[in-house]
Structure 1
Amino acid sequence: MKSAPLATGWTTQRQITRRGVLWLGLTCDVRCKFCYDEKVSLNAKAWMPPVEARAAIDKFRYFYQNEFVDFMGGEPTLHPQALEIVRHAADIGLRPTMITHGMRLADMDHARAFADAGIHDFLVSIHGIGDTVREIHGRGRDNYAKQVAALDNLRELGIPFRFNVTMIKDNLTELEAIAELAGAKGARVVNFLTFNPYFEWTADPEISFQARHSDIAPHLARAIDRCTALGVEANVRYMPPCQLPGHEAHVYTGYQLPYDPHEWDYNSWYDAGHEGKPDPAWYLDASRRQQRRHNYVHVPACGGCALRQVCDGFHKQYVTRWGADEARPYDGPLIDDPTYFVRQQRKIRYPASDGRPGEADSQTLAATRLAVGEDGRAGVKRQRPRRS
């Protein structure tokens, strides 16, 4: 059943995110040049069966007490039972998001079907303007036009949406234009994502499209300013704060992510087994584990930085390729509060759900494992080949 979008406002209060994440499968109809899943074999990209998806959704809501869930792919709108999965999440009070390239939503009937199923919002991957989109996608025709048509459909239907943009050499000069598009079409949020060589990219020392932080920063700073002027929340993912002086309030390394309501709960993401809501000290430890899991390191200059306990530093591959000369340590007393900068940012505020969620069958929850391994793709690890 269709549900009305949650009323929103603005806040500078920072609370632990209540958002789960579930990879529904790695199948996709485009081949983005930076995709983490492009090097995964086809037989490892199978869709998650709906019964398993429903079990995971129940665990997010009833055991971990999440209030939102992001459905990932691949391209999750291609899942044969996508609407059924969205409807189940909405029905139990877990507000569902689809992370998508959006092109299938250019069909109004398809977009309306998601509205009727109870979709909360869409997180649309907008990696460029015009022909840049097609070049990054590697497949398709009129890709950008389809994305724009999709945004218009979502706006007409009253379905909120946000943007993701992965920053690479191809699109740096278009970051401001993407901010303008967000304002013109009514996006609530733009997430500017630093490309990080996770998963199958880790062993590649010379990634052709990868950009240096110092090359990204001038374009990114202007895009953040434009978003702010247009009333659009702007977030930067996995770039050390010292790379964006004056814009640190927008920067989220793994230590700040737990305080962004649009990011994922480390507890449910990794099926850590803590019922309900652990305290901030638990999330600080989880952030340290995330830093190690994804191979971030502190370079020598970080040793004297006031933020060294609440900043990931630089990715190991990045340092191997370009060295450590970009690091700019902060002076002053040691800071141990991950929200030191981000608590100054005005962010979208969603009202909390009413009361504690209901309860699922205890045997079902006990049997439900999200099959998360070191790569962190919740729910799809079991479908990938074992590594020797």
Structure 2
Amino acid sequence: MAGALPGGLEKPQLDMSAPDRKASPLEGHLRADSLDSELSSGRSYGLVLRREGKTDLPARVVKVELGSLAAQRGVLDGDRILKATLTDTELVLTVERAGRVYQAKIERETPQFRPMVVQSGLIHPFPASVIEHWGPKGVLQGKTPNCWFQAALMAVAAIPQGQSMISDMIVRNPDTTYGVTFRGDSSKRISVSSSELMGRRLLNPAPWANVIEVAEHQEFPDNDEADSPARGSPKIKTGLSILTGHQSQFLRPESISTGELEKIISGCVERHVPIIIATKSPQETGGLPQVIVPNHAYAILSFDPGSQSVTLRNPLGDKVEKNMARRKARYLAQYPGSQPGPFMFFSLPDVGEEREGVRNLGDGLVRITVPALQRYARYIAWSSL
């Protein structure tokens, strides 16, 4: 669902091309006169910086102005600017956040501020066009085992109506905090501060996804609570319902025929209904080769009737597939009611490789045939918007 923002912004807001490279405090100091000249030229980019030494960089972002291109390009309060490169058309910032290095590319245009969406006196800092610009790629799971929520958020962010819904969900409070109201719990507004955004070591490239994930942590301080009967177990149902405000439907793919499952998936995709799956444990799949991440959730993005296949997106991105494909990853086999098991090594298909009806497309995308999905998926869930 890639889309263009006003002014021709087409590239991702944060370049994830080198997410694993460790940040170096000595990287690329920009001459003080160059940065001072740029920031005082009328193109402030909405950034307030605090230098860490006598040189301009490294510098800490103290504040990101509402509506600025820097905010829309994903720069957050507390980010550390390691390097700044000027071209004729843009300012490229090398940003460190939680030990990872990203790039934010900001157009050198005047004025730098975009109108924000204002409804009923409330400021919605992330217009639907910004949500569309990122789509599912804006969501990336961190260390919290909340794949059930992140997969649901990806599925909603892939749909035009869902993008508007996410935009409406977030407001900017007068005290500079964010307010998040989940449609599935609309009686309360959850406050999200800049310190919370920085303190939780979030990995989402899109700033709106970080705000929503912090709110999810507050809504479900105990991750397992989402699996309780009061919340509508299983978790993938809960993830969709808290976002959409509607009761989710779910079933076991193996309990119906391949044709019936295809009709459900194709119908959801055609009607723009968010739909996700939860995969089985290795114990549930028995002796089947492990070609997809077990005990995990994926968003369904598309269905191809010609090949009878579904395209999934992994909230962990492609890192886990790459690691498992290279036999570097270890998976601890622990399940409810069982004793801690040994480390198990899984070898998933590498990028471009297909095994057992599962092809790794790269960039966190997996194509799986419907019969294979029936073998490897524990649940499939969907919800109207």
Q: Normalising to structure 1: TM-score of the pair?
A: 0.28
Higher relative contact order (CA 8 A, sep 6+): 1
- Please identify the structure whose Cα radius of gyration is greater: 2
Q: Normalising to structure 2: TM-score of the pair?
A: 0.28
